[in-house]
Structure 1
Amino acid sequence: MGDPVRVSVVATDPVLEAGTRSALAASPEVSLSPCTAPEVAGDARVAVVVADQVAPSVLDLVREIRDTPPRPEVVLVVADLTPAEALHAVASGVRGVLRRREASGARLAHTVLAVAGGDCTVPIDLLGELLGTGCEPPAAATAWSANGLSERERAVLRLVADGMETGEIARELCYSTRTVTTVVHDITHRFRLRNRAHAVAYALRAGLL
């Protein structure tokens, strides 16, 4: 086992912050930082932001955290959210999204570790619902349709959509983890997408998965 992932918790309410820190403290793979925003970027690899809703002020906080070196990844925990709000959060730099009722200590720690490892996680039910949000720019859907995806790219994205992490996808498809990472990077770079969740949502919208 490697060193614990350094995590900072930023909450809009002191009670929420205390509860989140208590939930994460049970995981030996997580090390809690005493820092809070704007100092959160000082020593944390992942910042967990806890709020009631995906408000503009919360997205501004996410952007501030992501723009401050060394640019920690962000997990957002909110009471509830719509598909459009999830997409806005991802577009603002969030790499992990959880509803508060789903954020048990184990689930939250798992999400933090996944994000620290380069994965992006969104509640699986929201990926399908994103089809109906109308948030995708028309030009992006045209680009997907015109250029398409290779069978290998589709296979990787299908497993991403199923909630699998990089290592699990590599084992399922008999690829190296580097190959899986490269495939996802190529897709996001080619179509100017932000991350894995963005890529899956766009592929679903374009009917390629």
Structure 2
Amino acid sequence: MGEPVRVGVVALDRVLEAGTRSALEQGADLLVVDSADRPAVVVVVVDRVTEPVLDLVRRHRADEHRPEVVLVATELAPTSALHAIACGARGLLRRQEASVPRLAATVLAAAQGDCSVPPDLLDGLLERGAAGGMSDAWGSAGLSEREQAVLRMVADGRETSEIARELCYSVRTVTTVLHDVTQRFRLRNRAHAVAYALRAGLL
């Protein structure tokens, strides 16, 4: 048997954090540690997936040792799931479904690089994509058709001037579109914007 997976817990509610730590301590292959002890996986427990929560996921993923993140939320809608995955969450669970075995299995899967999503939520995302196509998925993520077109061309490696020429926009318009997308989703640059879209399955 190998070393146990080091796991940390973050929750705004101290009682909830203590309960989650206690549940994880029951996992034979898990070792609950403090954030300063470089956990391999961080479990973030929240009520709803808000922008501050997404920022928290991004910050943990940006840590020097880049821990995986498992997000446990009371409310978890398809759009929220897309954003959480795009921000780096490796596992998603609803709190009502986070039994000790299931939480432990999700943490262990995240540590191995696997992504876990509730089956019904995954089905909902797939059905949405099949029924409405990619444009509906883009729309649910808050991107206009113009933003979609620009990001697709950025993903293809096109320069700003090429994008402007092909889409019949000015260079300034293309630059503004990219700036708006990066600001709205708090992304670092155009490469990060494309990565965001790719990780959410939107490109």
Equivalent residues in 2 for 1:5-84, closer than 5 Å = 5-35=5-35, 39=36, 42-84=37-79
Q: Can you list the C-alpha shifts for 1:148-187, whole angstroms capped at 9, x where unaligned?
A: xxxxxxxxxxxxxxxxxxxxxxxxxxxxxxxxxxxxxxxx
1:105 aligns with one of 100, 103, 111: 100
User: What's the offset of the Cα at 1:43?
Assistant: 1.3
Q: Residue 128 of structure 1 corresponds to which residue in structure 2?
A: 123
User: What's the offset of the Cα at 1:128?
Assistant: 2.2
Aligned residues: 147
Q: Give the TM-score of the pair, scaled to structure 2.
A: 0.65
| 5+ long unaligned stretches in structure 1 | 144-191, 204-209
1:95 aligns with one of 60, 65, 90: 90
Structure 1: 4+ residue segments shifted above 2 A? 131-139
Structure 1 residue identity aligned to 2:198: L
Q: Can you list the C-alpha shifts for 1:54-105, whole angstroms capped at 9, x where unaligned?
A: 0111110110000011110000000021100111110111010000011011
d(CA) in 2 for partners of 1:34 and 1:83?
31
User: What's the offset of the Cα at 1:21?
Assistant: 0.4
User: What's the offset of the Cα at 1:8?
Assistant: 0.3
- Give identity over the alignment, percent: 53
Q: Residue 173 of structure 1 corresponds to which residue in structure 2?
A: none
d(CA) in 1 for partners of 2:46 and 2:82?
16
User: What's the offset of the Cα at 1:110?
Assistant: 0.3
d(CA) in 2 for partners of 1:44 and 1:34?
7
Quick check: which has more Rg, 1 or 2? 2
User: What's the offset of the Cα at 1:126?
Assistant: 1.2
Secondary structure, aligned partner of 1:193 = helix
Structure 2 residue identity aligned to 1:193: L
d(CA) in 2 for partners of 1:193 and 1:120?
15
